[in-house]
Structure 1
Amino acid sequence: MVQDETESQPPQPAPPPPVIVKVASEYEGEWKHGICGCFNNCGLCLYAYFCPCIVAGQNAAAMGESCVAYGCLFLVPVCNIIFNTTLRGKIREKYRIPGTTYNDCCIFTWCTLCSVIQSAQQLKVDTIAPMDEKMPRD
């Protein structure tokens, strides 16, 4: 009898599992700008000063939350602290920034605009469309 070619070959080892390489963000584990880094982007600083609810809403939208809800709740005294503290915590979690909910709450309560701007800079929301361009709506 003639042996089949496949029977005469030794069994092939299983291929090794694929290597997954995670590329770390340049700013992973820390904020891009400090809490007083508002003036690193003067345009964003002025925009947040005169229209903080819009910047807060854009921060929420960048994190997959409702822009309109967060923007409107920014104007409601106790709700703004709760929702923006939660949003800041989600940003810290996404970028693996150490901190606590208590710290987020204190920063938002006492340095509201600086907190909103710091979050916007982290999320790169500072690429706000000029006034002559149409803004996409949900």
Structure 2
Amino acid sequence: MTSKMVVQQPQPIMYTQESDEWSSGICDCCQDVPGCCCAFWCLPCFTCITSRDYGEPLCLPLLEIFSGWIPAVTMSMRVNMRQRYRIRGTMCRDCVISTFCCACSWCQMSREMKRRNVSVVMVGAKNT
């Protein structure tokens, strides 16, 4: 049995997004009808699932009942997502969208996560 020396390790494939814009508009509900229906019929459930899928605590969005007029959790998730995915925008716009289009904002964030999250498979070496 011959053994081969590994000269170069396999590198993970990284997804790069060329655009610095949201991949869908704030009102593009037809791009994910089941998700938008879930958000329409049970927004608290939808926000909790989206928050968990994003890597935040499951029940974090439920804290918005204590936040007052501006939905702080929605706004902070939106700002964080823009920074993570390098999407252009302003905190002022995020505040307006989070306040007046809360359900649409969560749907847009969910669609963005689905489009940008690509599984990275790391190939490990076997110990013999």
TM-score, length basis structure 2: 0.69
User: Is 1:52 the equivalent of 2:43?
Assistant: yes
Post-superposition shift, 1:99? 0.8
Total equivalences in the alignment: 105
Q: Cα RMSD (Å) of the superposition?
A: 2.6
Q: Which residue of 2 aligns with 1:113?
A: 103
State the identity %.
27
Q: Which has the larger radius of gyration?
A: 1
The runs of 4+ residues in structure 1 deviating greater than 6 Å are none
Listed one character per residue, the Cα deviations across residues 31-85 of structure 1 (whole Å, up to 9, x for unaligned) are 1110111122211111000111122112222232111122x22444627711110
Matches within 5 A, 1:8-87: 23-26=14-17, 28-70=19-61, 72-76=62-66, 78=68, 81-87=71-77
Structure 1 letter corresponding to 2:21: E
Structure ranking higher on relative contact order (CA contacts 8 Å, 6+ apart): 2
Q: Does the 8 A contact of 1:56 with 1:74 survive in 2?
A: no
User: Is 1:100 the equivalent of 2:90?
Assistant: yes
Q: Structure 1, unaligned stretches of length 5 or more? A: 1-19, 126-138
CA separation of 1:95 and 1:42: change in aligned 2, threshold 3 A: same
